[in-house]
Structure formats: structure tokens, C-alpha cells
């Protein structure tokens, strides 16, 4: 997958030292729950040392231009979370009315509609729904918003192309690593027939050497 330059992300410093211990425990508990019982099409990753920087992989919903893609999303919790909402970013490049060039996400839940009891789960579901139903009325990407309203087919084609270029998951390195030892094994193994043939030739070679000495 192709990612947006992290230097473009504002205010990405950790706030774990500024959060009350109780808030850290609540966030860590929710994140652990999301890993134990994942949401459909959403996989959460985080560091136990810093729960203020949450990442998730979101599968592009079927029936949308984003289908078949996997999008990395980041939530950066502020020092006064949960009184104020986190900052949300797409780290994977995407063509979407509500996602700015630097990946910033514009959705009401991350702004005026935020409530302290909503939690990380609600935010991730909201972002996934944004892939299904974009909101061109609050577009950060004006080109995408205008194209969605006026030339929907062109919008779908452009969004699909961006998904195919930037949001495709490459073959895992694990699979490649698992295949390598097997390839080496086959390369160093001699076929049973070849080994048998070599064994059969040995006595003959030995007899030739004996004849020469005679």
C-alpha cells in the first residue's frame, strides 16, 4: 500500500503523559476488546506503551469504488480526550470528498457531533460508513465533492483507480519467507533416482581404477 508522508500530519505527538490514568485504562480496555472481537472489515492495532495513537485497517466496502482496497486510518487522541474528539486521518491515499490531501478526515462525529461517551469503536464505524456514503456538502477535497455531485460515474472511476493504485495489499513477506526455505530444500535435495544412479556408477568407477593399476 502507498502511504501519505507522515510529516504532513499535524499534532502527531503522543499525549499519553497528559491523560489521566483512568482514561488510559478505559482506552486500553476498549482497544483490547476491539482486537479480541474485531469489527467486520476493521482491524485495530496499537502500542500498549502509547494508546493515544491508534491505527486501523479498514476494508473498502463492497459496492463502492473502494471495494477491494485496504485503508490504513489513524486516530490521534488529544490531551483532553474524551472531552474533545481525536484527530482522524487516512494514511492510505484515497480520492474522497471528505478526506484532505494530507489525509485529514472531515466528519461531524470528529467535530460538532462529538460526545465523550462515543468511544473508538463508534469512530471507526463512522469512518467506514463514510466510504459508503460520502458527504459532498462538507468536502475537504473540493474536486472530489464536485465530481460526486455532477459526474458520479467519473468520480467512481477516479476513486476506483486510486484504490487500485494505493490501497492494494502487497503479498505478505511472511508468505515469501515461508516459501524460501522450501525452495532451498528442493534446490539442495537430489532426486532419489539420481542418488541411486550415482551409487550404481561407483562400483564401476572403482573397477576401472583397479584395471588401470593392473
Q: How buried is 121 (Cβ within 10 angstroms: 0-12 exposed, 13-18 middle, 19+ buried)?
A: middle
Active site residue 129: no
Please check whether residue 82 is in contact with residue 23, taking contact to mean a CB–CB distance below 8 angstroms. yes
Catalytic one of 27, 73, 99, 106: 106
Task: Determine the angle formed by the axes of helices 21-36 and 119-132, rounding to 10 degrees.
Answer: 50
Q: Residues 6 or more apart from 79 whose CB is under 8 A from it?
A: 15, 18, 19
Question: Per residue in 185-196, is it b (16+ CB within 10 Å) or e — as a string?
Answer: eeeeeeeeeeee
Q: What's the rounded Cα separation, in Å, for the pair 43 and 35? A: 7
Classify 212 as helix, strand or coil: helix
Catalytic machinery residues: 106
Amino acid at each position: 500500500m502507498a502511504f501519505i508522508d507522515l510529516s504532513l500530519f499535524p499534532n502527531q505527538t503522543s499525549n499519553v503523559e497528559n491523560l489521566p490514568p483512568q482514561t488510559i485504562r478505559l482506552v486500553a480496555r476498549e482497544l483490547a476488546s476491539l482486537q479480541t472481537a474485531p469489527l467486520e472489515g476493521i482491524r485495530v492495532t496499537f502500542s500498549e506503551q502509547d494508546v493515544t495513537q491508534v491505527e486501523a485497517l479498514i476494508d473498502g466496502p463492497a459496492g463502492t469504488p473502494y471495494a477491494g482496497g485496504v485503508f490504513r486510518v489513524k486516530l490521534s487522541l488529544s490531551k483532553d480526550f474524551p472531552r474533545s474528539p481525536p484527530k482522524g486521518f487516512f494514511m492510505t491515499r484515497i480520492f474522497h470528498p471528505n478526506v484532505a490531501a494530507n489525509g485529514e478526515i472531515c466528519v461531524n462525529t470528529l467535530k460538532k457531533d462529538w460526545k465523550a461517551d462515543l468511544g473508538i469503536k463508534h469512530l471507526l464505524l463512522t469512518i467506514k460508513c463514510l466510504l459508503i456514503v460520502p458527504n459532498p456538502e462538507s468536502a475537504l477535497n473540493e474536486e472530489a465533492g464536485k465530481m460526486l455531485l455532477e459526474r458520479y460515474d467519473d468520480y467512481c472511476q477516479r476513486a476506483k483507480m486510486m484504490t487500485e493504485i494505493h490501497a492494494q495489499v502487497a503479498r505478505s513477506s511472511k508468505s515469501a519467507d515461508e516459501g524460501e526455505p522450501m525452495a532451498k530444500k528442493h534446490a539442495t535435495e537430489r532426486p532419489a533416482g539420481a542418488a541411486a544412479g550415482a551409487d550404481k556408477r561407483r562400483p564401476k568407477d572403482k573397477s576401472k581404477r583397479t584395471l588401470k593399476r593392473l
